[in-house]
Structure 1
Amino acid sequence: MSPNTWVIEMPTQKARAHPFPRRISPYRTPSRDAFTRDPPAMGPSPPLKNHDHPVFEDIRTIMSVLKASGLMPIYEQVSSYEVGPPTKTNEFYSFFVRGVVHALTIFNIYSLFTPNSAQLFYSYRETDNVNQWIELLLCILTYTLTVFVCARNTKNMLRIMNEILELDEEVRRQFGANLNQDFGFSVKFLVGIAASQAYIIVLKIYAVQGVITSTSYILLAFYAIQNGLTATYIVFASALLRIVYIRFHFINQLLNGYTYGPQQKRKGGGRRRQRDNINSYPNPNSNPAIMEHFPEDSLFIYRMHNKLLRIYKGINDCCNLILVSFLGYSFYTVTTNCYNLFVQITAKGMVSPNILQWCLAWLCLHVSLLALLSRSCGLTTREANATSQILARVYAKCREYKNMIDKFLTKSIKQEVQFTAYGFFAIDNSTLFKIFSAVTTYLVILIQFKQLEDSKVEDPVPEQT
């Protein structure tokens, strides 16, 4: 956000005397609601416990993996709405793990340029060889860059987490709402990543001819770890975006409650049309007195929207270099595996089931990660941009309300919300289509190189006498 961004500073407010009643959430799952309204309590509310607001408990498993691998700081839980920096012991552990990772990376690069890796990474065609080496180097580069960026952004990541917790505390104090959702998809992706990497290693071991050396085992193991942890971080970034999306959606639903109520009531003779996108908050204009809460709600929503935009930009700043490298690596991996599938299908000899399974495993892993990342970015960006669109439709009765809306809309017009890969391109729902368009183009080039090599083998140049 630019330094001239208009921000409304709202004074500390007490809980509303007559909060909205309990409402049905659109995120309802078999386990719990995404956000629920707590009934008004009589007297002072009891102090919160650490498990009363589990915004990061939903992704605890994936965060534990990232902490153990040094990609996330092992923070201290200060309270339900605050996390603190890691202790000296935990900080030393993360530093040690990152040092081991860099040492193994140097060892792997050295081993790749020695004859030790010949039994693992060797093919009979020059084009296949080049593709394999580029894919391996991109994998090493992506993981090394992920470790470096995560180490550099330790404080920024803790700040983002604290801002999310602080925002949730304000929402709970203002509206009595717990903004939580079941992030079971993160655990499913984590299990899928581990299973696919183990399956790929088994396929590679069975494909190797002869006895596998200890160096080759180290190369295979670390190659799987690099791919697995990079994919895990992408799932974690997608989960953070989902958290921001839920909070954008919450404030949009609050604004939706003030949309077109009086006009529809006059036109329909007291009957209002049911809107598809308003299913957890009844229109406050069903009771004209509730319109009195609009100035208070709008001030809170404006400030909450500004904080969410700051969190949104902070996540982008922490992940943009990683996203550029990962998208490049995924693009090349999808391309090479599509090319290998084409070679196997069009080969005159017997098709290798091992190579087919290898290619399909890689394609399923990377396509699912690209789809998850694109969908999470697209949903969050859409909700962030929808706030001004919803507010533009709000019917304001007083001049004071119109002035407040005009200020927010003026700020929103000058502010473009996008989640980008280091500014090169925006990541949204169309990203997957763009990647597959580029894959198709590059795949045609690889096939042409293969046909050129085959023609040279079939028609050798006659020797001159």
Structure 2
Amino acid sequence: MSPNTWIVEMPAQKTRSQPYPRRVSPYRTASINRDAFTRDSTAVPEPVPLRNHDYPVFEDIRTILSVLKASGLMPIYEQVSNYEVGPPTKTNEFYSFFVRGAVHALTIFNVYSLFTPISAQLFYSYRETDNVNQWIELLLCILTYTLTVFVCARNTKSMLRIMNEILQLDEEIRRQFGANLNQNFGFSVKFLVGIAACQTYIIVLKIYAVQGVITPTSYILLAFYAVQNGLTATYIVFASALLRIVYIRFHFINELLTKYTYGQQNKRKGGGGRRARGNNNINPNAAIMEHFPEDSLFIYRMHNKLLRIYKGINDCCNLILVSFLGYSFYTVTTNCYNLFVQITAKGMVSPNILQWCFAWLCLHFSLLALLSRSCGLTTKEANATAQILARVYAKCREYQNIIDKFLTKSIKQEVQFTAYGFFAIDNSTLFKIFSAVTTYLVILIQFKQLEDSKTDDPVPEQT
């Protein structure tokens, strides 16, 4: 996709001589306030002093950032100011390098152990089809985490640049409107707790299922297997949180632009073509069209920056997303297959295997739903800007020229969040994965039936 798909350059308007001619307030509001979109002097929120230690945006996801920093997936950056982060120090950079080196060393050790008789007590099954599925799932898990570590190390500077662009964008919004777009990201902490609980429960189930005494090497395999799954899932939650941050800012400019639409302007005039009497019929949510040129310049500039951030997040995560979606797809398929085998088995159903399968399915379904929803909401809000702008009420030819320039450049340039360009990730992704799981599950069941038929058929004696 060409860069022009993401960036729409608009010429500066001559209606204002300075970037921020409006009233500039050194205060902030506690949350997104609709009154911040208007110029009604009676709707100014009560000021709250901006504290020096108040760290916008990423303070809301500091827990998940701490986990990623400790694991080497995120750089231990330095806080330069409230709206800027700097590169890590030499000590922190060495720590991240050491952690990533230890991770790759353990990965090599685990791959070696899997191909030796040491892993027989952990990964053993009675059917050939089950063995193949289990080995493919394990190798996909190792590949996904190794690729995650490698991509995160390569994109350290890009991730810091994205964070700084988000912070600078928030600084512009605060200076222009006095609004703070922070939002409670409690879902990230809930997902962290859920990931840790699921991985612990799965490992406990695996330990109880092992026959005999577990060797120290097997404990290392199990522990690192849990860490690989947990940290990969944590990075997916972090990517979803970044997309939610971008979504909130897209929503802000769309709400600001909505004040100039035809419907809102009609409400301001009294509606229905009737002339408003006095000031009682004036809609405080509608913006004055005289301010449209300066607001449109701010909106276009902010929209371009958000598209650049959106594309930057996609570039930093696309390889990880391809690998994770493949691993998640295969894990969901194999666990559904194991549930089918247990339910249709003639013998006693194993409660251990049932709990194992349900734990994996809950974990991956929730992660896929979170990722799909975050991508879908952000993509929809990014594409909605041109649609809202097309409904702007503009009698003046000058205003209409401003709208036409943006619409001309944004037409047929739909924004998409993709998995390395293979397919778009949105609200329909979950349905597509379920469809693929169903297809592959039928194939696995057919292989199982073929294998069972070969076991049941007597072998003819040779004379």
TM-score by length of 1: 0.90
- Alpha-carbon RMSD: 2.3
| In structure 1, C-alpha distance between the alignment counterparts of 2:292 and 2:177, rounded to whole Å | 13
Question: Could you tell me which residue of structure 2 aligns to residue 196 of structure 1?
Answer: 198
Superposed CA offset, 1:14-67 (max 9, x none)? 351399xx99xxxxxxxx634576786999x9775131x520010000000000
Question: Could you tell me which residue of structure 1 aligns to residue 436 of structure 2?
Answer: 438
| 1:186 paired to 2:178 | no
Larger mean Cα displacement after TM superposition, 385-394 or 53-62: 53-62
Match of 2:418, as an amino acid? Answer: T
Q: How does 1:240-319 map to 2 (within 5 A)?
A: 240-260=242-262, 261-263=264-266, 265-267=270-272, 269=274, 282-285=284-287, 290-319=288-317
Question: Please, which of 383, 386, 392 is the counterpart of residue 385 of structure 1?
Answer: 383
Q: For 2:79, what is the secondary structure of its paired residue?
A: strand
TM-score by length of 2: 0.91
Match of 2:20, as an amino acid? Answer: K
Q: For 1:179, what is the secondary structure of its paired residue?
A: coil
CA contact (8 A) 1:284 1:291 kept: no
Larger mean Cα displacement after TM superposition, 355-364 or 455-464: 455-464
Can you give the 5+ residue segments of structure 1 that lack an aligned partner in the other structure? 24-31, 272-280
| 1:124 paired to 2:129 | no
Question: Please, which of 344, 350, 353 is the counterpart of residue 352 of structure 1?
Answer: 350
CA separation of 1:34/1:6 partners in 2, compared to 1, >3 Å: closer, same or farther?
A: closer
> Deviation of residue 135 (structure 1)?
0.1
CA contact (8 A) 1:85 1:158 kept: yes
CA contact (8 A) 1:15 1:173 kept: no
Runs of 4 or more above 4 Å deviation: 9-12, 34-43, 45-48
Q: How does 1:60-139 map to 2 (within 5 A)?
A: 60-139=62-141
Identity %: 84
CA contact (8 A) 1:15 1:175 kept: no
| In structure 2, C-alpha distance between the alignment counterparts of 1:177 and 1:359, rounded to whole Å | 46
Match of 2:189, as an amino acid? Answer: V
Match of 1:341, as an amino acid? Answer: L
Can you give the 5+ residue segments of structure 2 that lack an aligned partner in the other structure? 37-42, 277-282
| In structure 1, C-alpha distance between the alignment counterparts of 2:108 and 2:265, rounded to whole Å | 68
CA contact (8 A) 1:371 1:432 kept: yes
CA separation of 1:323/1:399 partners in 2, compared to 1, >3 Å: closer, same or farther?
A: same
> Deviation of residue 390 (structure 1)?
0.3
Question: Please, which of 373, 376, 381 is the counterpart of residue 375 of structure 1?
Answer: 373
> Deviation of residue 262 (structure 1)?
3.8
Question: Could you tell me which residue of structure 2 aligns to residue 322 of structure 1?
Answer: 320
CA contact (8 A) 1:139 1:227 kept: yes
CA contact (8 A) 1:36 1:178 kept: no
Q: For 2:180, what is the secondary structure of its paired residue?
A: strand
CA separation of 1:12/1:342 partners in 2, compared to 1, >3 Å: closer, same or farther?
A: farther
Superposed CA offset, 1:200-219 (max 9, x none)? 00000000000000000000
Q: How many residues align?
A: 440
Q: For 2:85, what is the secondary structure of its paired residue?
A: strand
Q: For 2:296, what is the secondary structure of its paired residue?
A: helix
CA contact (8 A) 2:246 2:378 kept: yes
Question: Could you tell me which residue of structure 2 aligns to residue 461 of structure 1?
Answer: 459
Question: Could you tell me which residue of structure 2 aligns to residue 397 of structure 1?
Answer: 395
CA contact (8 A) 1:374 1:428 kept: yes
Question: Could you tell me which residue of structure 2 aligns to residue 50 of structure 1?
Answer: 53
Question: Could you tell me which residue of structure 1 aligns to residue 280 of structure 2?
Answer: none
| In structure 2, C-alpha distance between the alignment counterparts of 1:103 and 1:256, rounded to whole Å | 54
Q: For 1:267, what is the secondary structure of its paired residue?
A: coil
| In structure 1, C-alpha distance between the alignment counterparts of 2:181 and 2:188, rounded to whole Å | 18
> Deviation of residue 166 (structure 1)?
0.3
CA separation of 1:375/1:282 partners in 2, compared to 1, >3 Å: closer, same or farther?
A: farther
> Deviation of residue 374 (structure 1)?
0.1
Question: Please, which of 16, 36, 48 is the counterpart of residue 22 of structure 2?
Answer: 16
Question: Could you tell me which residue of structure 2 aligns to residue 231 of structure 1?
Answer: 233
CA contact (8 A) 1:81 1:165 kept: yes
Question: Please, which of 146, 162, 165 is the counterpart of residue 163 of structure 1?
Answer: 165
> Deviation of residue 270 (structure 1)?
6.0
Question: Could you tell me which residue of structure 1 aligns to residue 9 of structure 2?
Answer: 7
| In structure 2, C-alpha distance between the alignment counterparts of 1:15 and 1:397, rounded to whole Å | 24
CA contact (8 A) 2:78 2:87 kept: yes
> Deviation of residue 2 (structure 1)?
3.8
Q: For 2:123, what is the secondary structure of its paired residue?
A: coil
| In structure 2, C-alpha distance between the alignment counterparts of 1:18 and 1:99, rounded to whole Å | 49
Question: Please, which of 144, 147, 163 is the counterpart of residue 146 of structure 2?
Answer: 144
| In structure 2, C-alpha distance between the alignment counterparts of 1:111 and 1:379, rounded to whole Å | 43
Superposed CA offset, 1:343-382 (max 9, x none)? 0000000000000000000000000000000000000000
CA contact (8 A) 1:37 1:175 kept: no
CA separation of 1:218/1:182 partners in 2, compared to 1, >3 Å: closer, same or farther?
A: same
Q: For 1:177, what is the secondary structure of its paired residue?
A: coil
Match of 1:429, as an amino acid? Answer: N
| In structure 2, C-alpha distance between the alignment counterparts of 1:41 and 1:336, rounded to whole Å | 55
Question: Could you tell me which residue of structure 2 aligns to residue 215 of structure 1?
Answer: 217
Match of 1:295, as an amino acid? Answer: P
